[in-house]
Chains A and B, each alone.
Chain A
Amino acid sequence: GDSVTQMEGPVTLSEEAFLTINCTYTATGYPSLFWYVQYPGEGLQLLLKATKADDKGSNKGFEATYRKETTSFHLEKGSVQVSDSAVYFCALSDRGGANNLFFGTGTRLTVIP
């Protein structure tokens, strides 16, 4: 069945450090891929998405590229800020839309000044 495997945390970085959170997936067909972020006390927010192979999603300095050959969708940011501290979830949808999202376990990021 469809599944998402996400880098386990927690991850602690100093401000301005480079961030990578790994995400790999298993799916039949051609899923859409997503990164969601959850700030303390809030709901999940869509951070970025990609709907086909080689697409790059980007938002707020974060990027992720849909790699079909390695079934990966790693999240990267060149220079993290304290305000990026949150839990990050990788997810996929197996129908091209988003009716039924499969989520990874989440990675907690803490950025220290």
Chain B
Amino acid sequence: NAGVMQNPRHLVRRRGQEARLRCSPVKGHSHVYWYRQLPEEGLKFMVYLQKENIIDESGMPKERFSAEFPKEGPSILRIQQVVRGDSAAYFCASSAEGQGINNEQFFGPGTRLTVL
């Protein structure tokens, strides 16, 4: 009965490199959400995806960040040309539905990205 899986749990990158964060939702869930937690701040919504579609990306930085949730495989949050300000904990959540009684979000343990 696996919950949301995220890997890697810790990721270290040098400035200018790419970071790829993976999220496997709860089995059967087709809605995925990404959040970012900067040091000393609360979690901030980034993007909401449903299989193969981006539903809401209002929290995503306009450049260098992208997300996908393909038909097969995990959701990927990709950060190109990382900068020190990208250092944060990135949390993924999934839900069975986007609205209604089954829209509770289940969270993964997070990926801690450190940019040197």
Contacts and interface: CB of A to CB of B under 8 A. Distances in A.
A103 B107 contact: no
B40 to A, nearest CB: 7
Interface stretch (A36-44, A58-66, A67-75): A36-44
A46 interface: yes
Contacts of B104: 46, 98
B107 A36 contact: yes
A97 interface: yes
A43 B110 contact: yes
A99 B99 contact: yes
B4 interface: yes
How many A residues are at the interface, by size bracket? 20 to 34
Interface string B95-116: 1001110011111111000000
B91 interface: yes
Interface string A23-60: 00000000000001000011111100000000000000
Contacts of B70: none
A4 interface: yes
Nearest to A101: B45
Contacts of B41: 105
Interface residues of B, number: 30
Interface of A: 4, 6, 36, 41-46, 89, 91, 97-106
B56 A105 contact: no
30 contacts: A4-B42, A6-B42, A41-B109, A43-B3, A43-B6, A43-B107, A43-B108, A43-B110, A44-B43, A44-B91, A44-B93, A46-B105, A91-B43, A97-B98, A97-B99, A98-B95, A98-B105, A99-B33, A99-B98, A99-B99, A99-B103, A100-B48, A101-B33, A101-B43, A101-B45, A101-B105, A102-B42, A103-B43, A105-B42, A106-B42
B44 interface: yes
B4 A103 contact: no
Residue among A36, A103, A106 with most chain B CB within 10 A: A103
